[in-house]
Amino acid sequence: MAELKHIPVMLKECVNALNVKSGGVYFDGTLGGGGHTREILLNSAPNGKVIATDLDDYAINRAKENLKEFGDRLTVVKSNFKDFTDIKSKLDIDGFDGILLDLGVSSFQLDDRSRGFSYLADNEKLDMRMDGNSLVSAETIVNGYKESDLKRIIAEYGEERFAANIARNIVEERKTRPITTVGQLNAIIEKSIPAKFKHDGHPSKRTFQAIRIEVNGELDGLYDTVIAMTRGLKKGGRIAILTFHSLEDRIVKQAFRELETDCICDKSLPVCVCGKKREAVIITRHPITAGEEEQTINPRAKSAKLRVAERV
């Protein structure tokens, strides 16, 4: 495979948000291309450590090679970042100085057309698995889900207004032959969306996003994971999360608000009886977004939002 390129989104903003310091211990739950991981390692020199997780074998092997100069300062674990609590326990880490999540799909996953993530790869098989060992692929979903379930995930995860049309046409098409390639699915989506609504980007964008989220369970347990990660920080430690669509951003925002909320008792009570205490403060009342220059250089940064909270 030719070397694929990855441009980390809001690199400086992420590292600055974490207040990376020499000797700190950090968790990068989405290793990906390793760009953020490298910057954290550089800024935590000479003895800072990073625990990084990913499910993608290509990403893991590539990062181990590209980051080998850091030796045992980097520990890479093949795992879902949602297994954070177990990983923290197994590595016997009391608390982290910072935690970073970049919830976007890596550039090299999109650019490797054989992975089936991109709607621009007409002749490639429908796949979209971040973990190549997973039994569920985009092809599995498109050919196996009931029409009602297809409509639900396309409407909910893709926020696609023509989800009903697309789901119905998928089911009709697969009666004739299995839907196995990106091009087949593109053609179905194309005919499902009225011409006057095809001006807002590629017509397949929302549906592909929805199927990818379903294949990889991207939203499952995210809220609880953000809560657990924040609680896994040292006092004063920060968690920074990059999201790329409104569903993820909403979940992160809600989790941060829950962590920041203090006593929820009726204000008429003379003393607190609920026992709820503020666990974090939100650093970013409004999410940080990429500057114009970065958006020009890296169009994938246009939809990115960075939210940050600090443990108290």
CATH code of the domain covering residue 229: 3.40.50.150
In this prediction the pTM is 0.89
Same domain, yes or no, for 239 and 157?
no
236, 199: one domain: no
Last residue of a domain, one of 198, 216, 234: 216
* Whether 66 and 22 share a structural domain: yes
Residue 301 φ then ψ, to 5°: -80, -10
Q: Which of 117, 214, 137, 139 is nearest to 184 (CA)?
A: 139
Q: Per-residue confidence of the chain (312 residues) as pLDDT tens digits?
A: 445 566 899 999 999 999 999 999 999 999 988 999 999 999 999 999 999 999 988 889 999 999 999 999 999 999 999 999 999 999 999 999 999 999 987 665 666 666 777 788 788 899 999 888 889 999 999 999 999 999 999 999 999 999 999 999 999 999 999 999 999 999 999 999 998 887 777 899 999 999 999 999 999 999 999 999 999 999 999 999 999 999 999 999 999 999 999 877 777 777 887 778 899 999 999 999 999 999 999 888 999 999 999 999
Domain boundary among 216, 240, 273: 216
The verdict on 241 and 279 lying in the same domain is yes
Q: How many domains does the chain have?
A: 2
Does 86 share its domain with 120? Answer: no
Cβ within 8 Å of residue 287, ≥6 positions away: 249, 305, 306, 307
> Are 203 and 229 members of one domain?
no
What would the pLDDT profile of 273-288 be if each residue is shown by its tens digit?
Answer: 777 889 999 999 999 9
Q: Answer whether residue 6 is part of any domain.
A: no
Q: Could you tell me if 90 and 227 lie in one domain?
A: yes
C-alpha–C-alpha distance, residues 4 and 34, integer Å: 13
306/13 Cα distance (integer angstroms): 8
Q: Whole-angstrom Cα distance, residue 307 to residue 230?
A: 13
Q: Is residue 5 part of a domain?
A: no
Greatest distance between any 2 Cα atoms in the chain? 69
Q: Tell me how many degrees the CA angle 163-169-173 measures, rounded to the nearest 5.
A: 145
Whether 211 and 149 have beta carbons less than 8 Å apart is answered as no
Query: Where does a domain end: 197, 216, 235?
Result: 216
Same domain, 223 and 284: yes
